[in-house]
Amino acid sequence: MSSETVQRKEAAPYRWYVYAACTVLAVALNYIFGKDMASDTLSYQLYAGFSAVHDRFAQDYFPAGPQSYFNPYDYVPLYYLVSSGLSSLEISSVLALVHSVMLWLTYELAVIVCPWDDRYKRLTFGLCAIAFALINPILLQQIGSTFADITTGELVLAGWLLLAFAVRTPSTAHVVCAGLLCGLATGLKLTNALHATAGFAILTMLPLAPWGRIRQCLAYGISLGLGFAVVAAPWSYRLAQRFGNPLFPMMNNVFRSPEFTTETGHATRFIPDSVAEALWRPFAMIDPVTMVHEEMRAPDPRYAVLLILMGAFLVRWLCRRRAASASQPVRSAAAASARTLAAIACGLAVDWVTWLSFSGNSRYFLPMSSVAAVVLVALLYRLLATQPRTRNYILAGFLGVQGVQLWMGADYRWNQTPWDEHWINIAVPAKLKSEPGLFLSMGAQTNSFVALYLAPDSGLINFSGLYTLGPDGANGARIGALVNRYAPNIRMLIRGERLYSDDERRLPNRTQIDDALMPFSLRVDESDCATIAVHGLPPDLEITMATSQPAVPQSRDTTYLVSCRVAPDKTDHSAQMPARRDIELALDHLEDACPALFQPRRPRTENIGDGGMRRYFGTDLIAWVSHGSVKFLQPPGGDVVSLGPENDWKKAPIQIRCGRRNGRYFASLPTLQ
């Protein structure tokens, strides 16, 4: 049989019809789910694309917190789309079209592992794989959204597709191209490094002699590094020049830039605490609750079913091993598809273990989710090869049950907003659009997207947020230089329609702002304030304090940002220093009492009234001292827990019970349990 005939028989049947159907479905689902204005879009994604096109190093400093300095190139298309003037539906539809490529690649991978030559059977097999990939709630959440997990994941999946081709028909060209694609994906988003590394497991199953496999692994590793360097090197060079760390702010415990903590801050909220919890994770993912493998509800039983099928397949293989050795040889085509399935299943198993050990967040597992769909369908087809009716009933039943799960128990948008004329319908006062200034933003939601709409030469610093910056050291020197450069056009920026008086018991108020600005010898000037309105974006949930003042109605479809000029503060605050040192000591001792919870250690303490607060981005915790008591909170939805008097904590660490239970952190005094 000629090579041309073989390629024709192995080609995906009705490819372009399937591609078109996947794209139409993705665009339709995007329209149904609505526009997604996730906090990440406003906090760093849109700014990232903007900063990649415009050099912002000279005028901004941590404008989007630590995420300001992640490789921004994967968000450049988003910036151009938003700047193009297209409507929000048009922009999101373009993104959905690009995201549908994930389904195309799933189909191609399924056809490769399909053991039959019949076009109709391969088409059915591929469509089943697409269906099982599509019922992933994480994938549905991100279709049409601004997240880069799908777009970079498509590069990974394309790389694995080429590796599957190489297993079926060894080819150095396929291996090299796979390495380049996985390297590009890793350079754009470092979480893809796990999937790129797991590709080596696939190469160990190439139908070659040991030395041939080693050569292919070397070729893959070299091309992987080359692909990574092509994307990462330009940005890493700039980071190395600016901060002395080419991966800033990551791996700063190695490069030790003075402008970021050298403590490790590994995010652990979705990583299992024990082997038992790790083994249970596929089954825990079935429950439609939050904070299991993602922040939102994302029930996904596919991994539990896949685990059961793999166990059943292994048992059957062991039982039939002796009989199979005495039977007639298997057709080469069926053997090739079986070897390809075994290779990608092996790679998937390695990837799952490493992903669960380092992240456990399903947003970073999207390409492997499609691989899992293919493996699941392939195992089911092979286990029930002689019982097609039973197999079809199982497939239909599973899809039906998961469809009910998705309908009743899944969240599809982080912050659903209506389709409107612009992606961001923003009204900025003329003064802020024409007069360059330095904006000191406050809050973990950095609102760095406003940089696109301010005067072009304006600067932005998120000094109080996910990573709090202080007036001393390298951070203070950078901030001081920018303040001197822009003075007197210095303004604060925070979410809120206006600055409220202390009597109104609402935030933001002048006391809150002045407390945050005090370390920089600045104070707010209420005589010069302006409000930015983002229409079509519901405001964050506001927590108000008890007050006798009449309630002020809130807008339900507009988010406001208030910006007021700040002025030098000549007040002598030296009398407060002893109390501030006591607060620092109490929080230091709290960290020492439970280092697993409060990390990275020793973040800067923010002033809050009579107390102080620290944010721990590694574990998403907040600890603070107020009214003489030490407290902590795990947002979102956590309860405020009091851990005893400040006077006790400032003397020495107190023994407490702490850890993580059911995906949530806890800490309490032994006497309170």
Interval 126-171: pLDDT, tens? 999 999 999 999 999 999 999 999 999 999 999 999 999 999 999 9
pLDDT at residue 631 greater than cutoff 50: yes
pLDDT at residue 673 greater than cutoff 70: no
pLDDT at residue 549 greater than cutoff 70: no
Q: Which two tokens stand for residue 606?
A: 């923010």
Share of the chain above pLDDT 70, in %: 93
pLDDT at residue 393 greater than cutoff 90: yes
Backbone angles phi, psi at 533, to 5 degrees: -115, 130
Q: State which amino acid sits at residue 287.
A: D
SS (H, E, C) 168-212: HCCCHHHHHHHHHHHHHHHHHCHHHHHHHHHHHHHHCCCCCCHHH
Q: Which two tokens stand for residue 541?
A: 């949930």
Quote helix, strand, coil % in the chain, to nearest 5: 55, 15, 30
How would you class 290 by CB atoms within 10 Å of its CB: exposed for 0-12, middle for 13-18, buried for 19 or more? middle
Report how far residue 164's alpha carbon sits from residue 46's, in angstroms, rounded to the nearest whole number: 35
611: helix, strand or coil: strand
Cβ-based neighbours of 193, under 8 Å, separated by 6 or more: 186
665: helix, strand or coil: strand
Give 84-131 pLDDT, tens digit per residue.
Answer: 989 999 999 999 999 999 999 999 999 999 988 889 999 999 999 999
CA 476, distance to chain mean position in Å, is 29
Report how far residue 606's alpha carbon sits from residue 601's, in angstroms, rounded to the nearest whole number: 15
Report how far residue 181's alpha carbon sits from residue 195's, in angstroms, rounded to the nearest whole number: 11
312: helix, strand or coil: helix
Q: State which amino acid sits at residue 554.
A: Q
Give 606-623 pLDDT, tens digit per residue.
Answer: 988 888 999 998 888 899
CA 134, distance to chain mean position in Å, is 19
CB 629 within 8 A of CB 622: no
Burial per residue of 558-576, b for 16 or more beta-carbon CB atoms within 10 angstroms, e otherwise: bbbbbbbbbbeeeeeeeee
pLDDT at residue 7 greater than cutoff 50: no
CB 607 within 8 A of CB 617: no
Peptide bond into 249 cis (omega under 30): yes
Report how far residue 93's alpha carbon sits from residue 78's, in angstroms, rounded to the nearest whole number: 12
Q: Which two tokens stand for residue 483?
A: 């303040």
Report how far residue 339's alpha carbon sits from residue 540's, in angstroms, rounded to the nearest whole number: 52
pLDDT at residue 3 greater than cutoff 50: no
What integer pLDDT is reported at residue 180 of this predicted model?
98
Report how far residue 579's alpha carbon sits from residue 572's, in angstroms, rounded to the nearest whole number: 15
Give 15-73 pLDDT, tens digit per residue.
Answer: 999 999 999 999 999 999 999 999 999 999 999 999 999 999 999 999 999 999 999 99
What integer pLDDT is reported at residue 167 of this predicted model?
95
Report how far residue 586's alpha carbon sits from residue 602's, in angstroms, rounded to the nearest whole number: 12
Provide the phi-psi class of 324: left if phi over 0, else alpha when psi is between -120 and 50, else beta. alpha
What integer pLDDT is reported at residue 503 of this predicted model?
80
Q: How, if at all, do strands 438-442 and 490-495 pair?
A: parallel
pLDDT at residue 328 greater than cutoff 70: no
Report how far residue 272's alpha carbon sits from residue 251's, in angstroms, rounded to the nearest whole number: 23
Report how far residue 248's alpha carbon sits from residue 255's, in angstroms, rounded to the nearest whole number: 9
Backbone angles phi, psi at 33, to 5 degrees: -70, -30
Across the range 541-551, mean pLDDT stands at 45
What integer pLDDT is reported at residue 13 of this predicted model?
84
Give 357-389 pLDDT, tens digit per residue.
Answer: 999 999 999 999 999 999 999 999 999 888 989
What's the chain's average pLDDT? Answer: 90
What integer pLDDT is reported at residue 323 of this predicted model?
60
